[in-house]
Structure 1
Amino acid sequence: MNKQELFGYMPAEPYRTAVAYFSMEYAIDQSLKIYAGGLGFLAGSHLRSAYHLQQDFVAVGLLWKYGYYDQLRDTTNHMTAAFIEKNYSFLTDIDLTFSVIVHQSPVHVKVYLLPPATFGCAPLFLLTTDIPENDELSRSITHRLYESNEATRIAQNIVLGIGGAKMLDLLALTPEVYHLNEGHAVALNFYLYDKFKDLAEVKKRVVFTTHTPEMAGNEAHSFALLDTMSFFYHLTETAVKALLSLSGEQFNYTLTALKFARKANGVSKLHALTAQQMWGGNAGICPIIAITNAQNHDHWSDILLSQHLVASDREAFWRRKQALKHELFQVVADQCGKLFRDDILTIVWARRFAGYKRSGLLMAEWSAFVNLVTQVKFPVQLIWAGKPYPGDAYGTGEFNQLINRSFGFSNCAVLTGYELRLSSLLKKGADVWLNTPRLYHEASGTSGMTAAMNGTVNLTIPDGWVPEFARDLVNCFLIPTAPQTLQDAQKDELENKALLQILTEKVLPLYYEQPEEWFRVALAAYGDVRTAFGSDRLAQQYYQELYA
């Protein structure tokens, strides 16, 4: 495949190392629903910057027929997950079908291409098994992102890793570097080992990004099941254990990727240290450096807001921010029947829904929460949004509990449909972006970056990327954290009190009584985040420190 035709450009001089990037999800445009959360948001911004910088960079993913899920409401106003078939006329059928072995049987894979010019991103090849040549079981492999069935998940990993690598060979696009964005595509290493017959030759070509700072969150399956599923390509379980010095019954994707890669990165400085501590005791793993996540400024920031911030025009900034709040509040009115006001400080908590992110921390002491949302001196408005995993009963219950507890307050709303468009509206329309993870549980947490790109001030626990950015009371508000020796319930109690104190004593008085100072904080945040946490820096740093 000709690169000029594929990219629309010949790669620029600093970026002529050919890279293939493998990820389970990509958040590129609202119309292409093949993402779940932060992993996809990162990948989408990375692809935009790779295109902007004219890098020799292609991406490989799966074409999810039903996406992640559509987040709707049932008759009781609670969240429900709907799986609705998606169709995309803007994808190009490149007339390539081939087979991979899954569970000792051939599965046919068809390839589509998202052309770079469509959304201004690097070429993205999307693989599907939902074609007439397959039986229904094989067709279902690429139906749902993060399918709960274990065998189906493994089959998805095989199609992404082995299928993606085989596709690149068939297209004569064999890269110099294979970049695994998380461990889902780790099976491609077994394809490469079969090709080169030498672990050192595989290591020359593979790099890896780990995103998960908790051991339980790193995917693992039994060797026996993976062997049965043909995950190891032409190797036996015994040969895999000998090759990588592995033992035990469980095969861990992250550990294996670290053994196959020549270099890996954590997604913030804090996370890289955590990853080194988690995996450093294992023989044969590669070095783990820090390349902090980033987001694409041109895609995420409101053009007029940016212009007013660059010009330090406070009055124009306030007018534009109120207009964006009004746009967001139309969604609140439509979904919740509540009329929010443009002149009231609005706090948003919105991100991938997971227990450690503590969506309900502000409500942990109920009487204090009621006092906050009913006091009239410094009125507030609160919005929550996010998608729990559809099979996570606890997460869905937590989401619905937010709906129940906020129902009686006219200034509190819980929104469904948290995808790219709503995420953008929230970040542009918020005054305060609330981030409340348990310390050392958030690998990066990039939503605060795109909020700051829109003049929204972070109120945050100092986890993930935040320590590299935060200047308390200068570009954000930091929530003091409880001693790590305490139990989670005690931490929640103390950090709830600290959060409420920061809100009532610093955030609200500054917003209402010192608007010039508030603008100074928003302006500092915008300036600090724009370059250091823009995805052009990320894409450049990957070439300089991981691909070189």
Structure 2
Amino acid sequence: MTRTELFGYSLNAEYQTSVAYFSMEFAIDQSLKIYSGGLGFLSGSHLRSAFELKQNLLGIGMLWKYGYYDQVRDKNNNMVPAFIQKDYSFLEDTGIILSVPVHSATVKVKAFLLRPATFGTAPLFLLSTDLPENDEVSRSITHRLYDPNEATRIAQSIILGIGGGMLLDQLNLQPDYYHMNEGHAVPLNFYLYSKYKNLDEIKKRMRFTTHTPELAGNEEHDYSLLKEMSFFYHIQEHEVKFVLGLEGEKFNYTLAALKFSGKANAVSKLHGDVAREMWGGYDGICEIVSITNAQNQKYWQDAILAGKLRASDPLGVAARKKEMKSLLFKEVANQTGKLFDENVLTLVWARRFAAYKRADLLMHDWNRFENLLKHSKYSIQIIWAGKPYPEDTGANQIFNQIIDNTKAFPNCAVLVGYELGLSSLLKKGADVWLNNPKMYREASGTSGMTAAMNGAINLSIPDGWIPEFAIDGENCFLIAPADGSLSEEQSDKTENANLMDVLEKTVLPTYYDHPSKWFDVVQNGIKGVIPEFESARMAEAYYKQMYQQAD
């Protein structure tokens, strides 16, 4: 397959450098359920902008038979995960079958292709082990995104990294750069090392994006298990440690990726500071720059609203916003039996569901929360949505507690099925987009970008991308963070009080009493987001800062 056949369009002369972009998940379209959350939303927007700019970039990912999971309800209305087979007639079977060593056996891997014309993205190859040639254990490698079984998770990285490298060789596509979006594809480096036998040769070609701002969140496993799993391809454990200057019994994916890469990037300016502090004490790591995440305007922004905003038509914006709220509220009624009002300020908390993101922070002072919901002058409606990791007991418990705690309130709703389609409905229907993670735990947090594109005002802790965007009271509303010396309990209490103060004293009065001021904040939010946080800027930055022409 030639590059011309693969892309189907003329490449822009500015972006001739060829790149293979490896990611465990891609959020391309609601119908293609191969993603879990923000990492996939980011890679999906990257491929959309690469297509729009006609960049010489292709994606390598995985074809998950059961996706991440389907988020449904049990008979008690609590959220439960369901695993349902997915079939996609729009993927092209390339006929290519690779033989990848996993656990000293040979696993057959088939490559499927998502053509650029299908959804308006750069070409994307997806790898599957769910083939009749494989035994059931081998077939299950590509069944579940982020499988909870340790050996299966390791095998998934082997298929993505080594299988992806083999695929490019089979296609006779030798990219100038290999780009790992997070550390999952790190076995790719061992495949390349078997070819080049030289770390510097890999560094010339390897680029890496790190997303996780916590040491505990960066995947690592015992060397002995990885060796047994064929993770290091044909390289021995002692050679891995020698080449990379590693010690200890645990192999850390992120640390290895930073040592294999010629350059890496964090996903916001603040995250860059955190990442350099995290990893700066290790010898042999590459430079870590900051390229802030972004999202694709064409995919995410409502076209009618955009036209009203360009025309500075506040009445038209308000009317369209009510129409978008109405569409969201049909889904609220469908799932919960609650009827929301388009004239009432609607606050949304929706994103990947993890404890540190504090979906329940609003409820920390229950009496104050209850008074907010029953306020006689300033009405409010609140919606929660998000997908916790299926095996994250704590996050699942928080999700279902919110369902139980808000069941009696007609102006609160918790929605399931948080995927691209529902995410779009929520961002278009929200008046306020709430983001209140624990400080320095959010690498980027891009959901607020696409909410702002659709006329929702960010109400946020100044973490992730927000410090690069926020002008408090002009394009968003900020929640003052607690002093860093406070305990976690004291911090939650303080930040709950700060959040409620901003809501009660600023956000609600502005919405109801000063609509022209509200419109100004909405407009300023969009001006602040586009183009700085639109993914064309990000895709261009990768070419300028990360992909200089290889030697």
Q: TM-score, normalised by structure 2?
A: 0.99
Counterpart in 2 of 1:154?
154
Q: CA deviation at 1:242?
A: 0.6
Counterpart in 1 of 2:310?
310
Counterpart in 1 of 2:86?
86
Counterpart in 2 of 1:339?
339
Inter-partner Cα distance in structure 2 for 1:129 and 1:327: 39
SS at match of 1:100: strand
Counterpart in 2 of 1:405?
405
Inter-partner Cα distance in structure 2 for 1:314 and 1:398: 38
Could you tell me which runs of 5 or more consecutive residues in structure 1 were left unpaired when the two chains were aligned: none
Q: CA deviation at 1:425?
A: 0.2
SS at match of 1:531: coil
Counterpart in 1 of 2:255?
255
Q: CA deviation at 1:9?
A: 1.3
Q: CA deviation at 1:506?
A: 0.3
Q: Is the 8 A contact 1:3 1:10 kept in 2?
A: no
Which amino acid in the other structure matches residue 426 of structure 2? L
SS at match of 1:397: helix
> 1:374-425 CA distances to partner (integer Å, 9 max, x unpaired)?
1120000000000000011111100000000110100000000000000000
Correspondence 1:454-533 to 2 at 5 A:
454-533=454-533
Q: CA deviation at 1:262?
A: 0.2
Kindly indicate whether residue 545 of structure 2 is the aligned counterpart of residue 545 of structure 1: yes
Q: CA deviation at 1:2?
A: 1.6
Which amino acid in the other structure matches residue 125 of structure 1? F
Q: CA deviation at 1:176?
A: 0.7
Inter-partner Cα distance in structure 2 for 1:80 and 1:202: 43
Inter-partner Cα distance in structure 2 for 1:311 and 1:8: 36
Correspondence 1:409-428 to 2 at 5 A:
409-428=409-428
Q: CA deviation at 1:10?
A: 2.4
> 1:304-326 CA distances to partner (integer Å, 9 max, x unpaired)?
11111111100000000000000
Q: How many residues align?
A: 548
SS at match of 1:178: strand
Correspondence 1:22-101 to 2 at 5 A:
22-101=22-101
Inter-partner Cα distance in structure 1 for 2:268 and 2:90: 35
Q: CA deviation at 1:529?
A: 0.2
Which amino acid in the other structure matches residue 79 of structure 1? M
> 1:498-527 CA distances to partner (integer Å, 9 max, x unpaired)?
000000100000000000000000000001
SS at match of 1:532: coil
SS at match of 2:530: helix
Correspondence 1:206-221 to 2 at 5 A:
206-221=206-221
Kindly indicate whether residue 11 of structure 2 is the aligned counterpart of residue 11 of structure 1: yes
Counterpart in 2 of 1:173?
173
Which amino acid in the other structure matches residue 28 of structure 2? I
Counterpart in 2 of 1:286?
286
Inter-partner Cα distance in structure 1 for 2:439 and 2:43: 24
> 1:137-174 CA distances to partner (integer Å, 9 max, x unpaired)?
00000000000000000000000000001100000111
Q: Is the 8 A contact 1:328 1:429 kept in 2?
A: yes
Q: CA deviation at 1:340?
A: 0.2
Inter-partner Cα distance in structure 2 for 1:292 and 1:304: 28
Kindly indicate whether residue 139 of structure 2 is the aligned counterpart of residue 139 of structure 1: yes
Which amino acid in the other structure matches residue 37 of structure 1? G
SS at match of 2:26: coil
Counterpart in 2 of 1:233?
233
> 1:114-157 CA distances to partner (integer Å, 9 max, x unpaired)?
00000000000000000011001000000000000000000000
Runs of 4+ aligned structure 1 residues displaced above 4 Å come to none
Q: Is the 8 A contact 1:24 1:61 kept in 2?
A: yes
Correspondence 1:323-362 to 2 at 5 A:
323-362=323-362
Counterpart in 2 of 1:447?
447
Counterpart in 2 of 1:384?
384
Q: CA deviation at 1:294?
A: 0.1
Counterpart in 2 of 1:120?
120
Which amino acid in the other structure matches residue 154 of structure 2? I
Q: CA deviation at 1:530?
A: 1.2
> 1:404-459 CA distances to partner (integer Å, 9 max, x unpaired)?
01101000000000000000000000000000001100000000000000010000
Q: CA deviation at 1:34?
A: 0.1
Which amino acid in the other structure matches residue 523 of structure 1? Q
Inter-partner Cα distance in structure 2 for 1:197 and 1:485: 48
> 1:183-228 CA distances to partner (integer Å, 9 max, x unpaired)?
0000000000000111110110000000000000000000000000
Q: Is the 8 A contact 1:21 1:180 kept in 2?
A: yes
Q: Is the 8 A contact 1:29 1:119 kept in 2?
A: yes
Inter-partner Cα distance in structure 2 for 1:490 and 1:255: 33
Inter-partner Cα distance in structure 1 for 2:311 and 2:289: 37
Inter-partner Cα distance in structure 1 for 2:146 and 2:117: 28
Counterpart in 2 of 1:197?
197
Inter-partner Cα distance in structure 2 for 1:328 and 1:23: 31
Which amino acid in the other structure matches residue 94 of structure 1? T
Q: Is the 8 A contact 1:362 1:496 kept in 2?
A: yes
Which amino acid in the other structure matches residue 387 of structure 2? K
Which amino acid in the other structure matches residue 61 of structure 1? G
Inter-partner Cα distance in structure 2 for 1:148 and 1:489: 30
Inter-partner Cα distance in structure 2 for 1:225 and 1:191: 18
- Percent identical residues: 61
Inter-partner Cα distance in structure 2 for 1:120 and 1:352: 25
Q: CA deviation at 1:8?
A: 1.4
Inter-partner Cα distance in structure 1 for 2:386 and 2:480: 24
Q: Is the 8 A contact 1:3 1:9 kept in 2?
A: no
Which amino acid in the other structure matches residue 45 of structure 1? S
> 1:243-302 CA distances to partner (integer Å, 9 max, x unpaired)?
111000000000000000000000000001100000000000000000000000010000
Aligned-CA RMSD value: 0.5
Which amino acid in the other structure matches residue 466 of structure 2? V
Q: Is the 8 A contact 1:353 1:388 kept in 2?
A: yes
Counterpart in 1 of 2:20?
20
Kindly indicate whether residue 307 of structure 2 is the aligned counterpart of residue 297 of structure 1: no
Q: CA deviation at 1:344?
A: 0.1
Inter-partner Cα distance in structure 2 for 1:305 and 1:348: 19
Counterpart in 1 of 2:433?
433
Q: TM-score, normalised by structure 1?
A: 1.00
Inter-partner Cα distance in structure 1 for 2:110 and 2:451: 38
Inter-partner Cα distance in structure 2 for 1:237 and 1:488: 40
Which amino acid in the other structure matches residue 32 of structure 2? L
SS at match of 2:483: coil
Inter-partner Cα distance in structure 2 for 1:93 and 1:222: 36
Which amino acid in the other structure matches residue 279 of structure 2? W
> 1:469-496 CA distances to partner (integer Å, 9 max, x unpaired)?
0000000000001001111110000000
Which amino acid in the other structure matches residue 495 of structure 1? E
